[in-house]
Structure 1
Amino acid sequence: MTRRTPSTSHRRHQRGVSLFGLLFWAIVVGFFGYLAVVVFPTVNEYFTIKRAVDKIAAEAPATVPEVRAAFERQRAIEYSISSIGSNDLEITKENDRLVIGFAYEKEIPIVGPVYLLLKYEGRSGQ
C-alpha cells in the first residue's frame, strides 16, 4: 500500500479571505458607513422641511406673508431646518389649493477637495 504525501496528492484549495481582501472589504464597508452617517442628517432635514410644508399647506393660510411667517415659526420649533428660509419657498395655488414648493442643494465634504452634492426638492401634498 502506497501512502500519499502532500507533495504527490491533489491539494485542496483553501477557501477564505486573505488579509488584503479583509482590509479591502473593511475599507469599502467603512466608506459606505461614513457616507451613510454624513448623509443621514440631510435626509432627516429634508423630511422635517417636508412635514412643515405639508402642515402649513393643510392650515391654508390666506396670504403669502402668512405662509412665510408660519414657516419661520416652524423653523424656530424644528432646530434641524437650516438649509432654507421662508424666502426660498415657492408658493402657488393649483385648483384652489395652496401648494408650497421648495428646492435646495447640500454639499458634504468627503475628503480634501471631494464633495458630495445632494439636491433636494419637494412640494406640499405629494
Structure 2
Amino acid sequence: MKLKRQQRGLTFVGLIIVGTLLALAGIVAAQVFPTYLEYMAVQKAVQKASAGSTVAEVRDIFDKAATIDDIRTISGKDLTVGKQGDRVVVSYDYAREIHLAGPAWLVMKYKGSSQ
C-alpha cells in the first residue's frame, strides 16, 4: 500500500507576508545605506582635518573636505578638537533620524575620532 506524501512549501498568503517583510527591510536598508556612506566620508574628512595645527585650520580643512564629499549632517563647527601629546585629535558625535511611519523613527548615532 502506498502512503500519500504530504506536500510541503509556502502558501500564497505566506509568500505575500514574506515578500512584504523583505520589501519593508529593503526600504529601510535603502534609507540607512546613504547615512553609512556619509559616516565613512566624515571619518575620511576627519582624518584629513587632523593634519591641521590650529582649531580654525582643522575646521577649515574639514569644511573643504565636506564640500567635496557632500557631507551635510555635520560641519567643522561641530567637531571637537584637542591635543593628545603632540598630536591633534579630532572627534565627532552626531545622530541621523530616519522616519519610518507615523510616530516611528530609526535613530542612527555615529561617533568617531581621528585616533
TM-score by length of 2: 0.93
SS of residue matched to 2:92: strand
CA offsets 1:77-116 (integer angstroms, 9 cap, x no match) = 111x111111110001112111100010111011122110
Larger C-alpha radius of gyration, 1 or 2?
1
Query: What percent identity do the matched residue pairs reach?
Result: 37
User: Paired residue for 1:102, among 92, 95, 109?
Assistant: 92
Any idea what SS the aligned residue of 1:109 has? Answer: strand
The residue number in structure 1 matching 2:82 is: 92
Give the whole-Å Cα distance in 1 for the aligned partners of 2:69 and 2:14.
44
> Residues 48 and 62 of structure 2 are in contact (CA less than 8 Å); yes or no, is this contact kept in structure 1?
no
Name the counterpart of 2:60: 69
Are 1:33 and 2:23 matched, yes or no?
Answer: no
Q: Unpaired runs of 5+ in structure 1?
A: none
The aligned counterpart of 2:49 is: 56
Partner secondary structure for residue 105 of structure 1 = strand
Over aligned residue pairs, what C-alpha RMSD do you find?
1.3
Letter in 2 for 1:94: Q
Unaligned stretches of 5+ residues in structure 2: none
**Counterpart in the other structure of 1:114:** 104
Normalising by structure 1, report the TM-score.
0.85
Q: Aligned residues, how many? A: 115
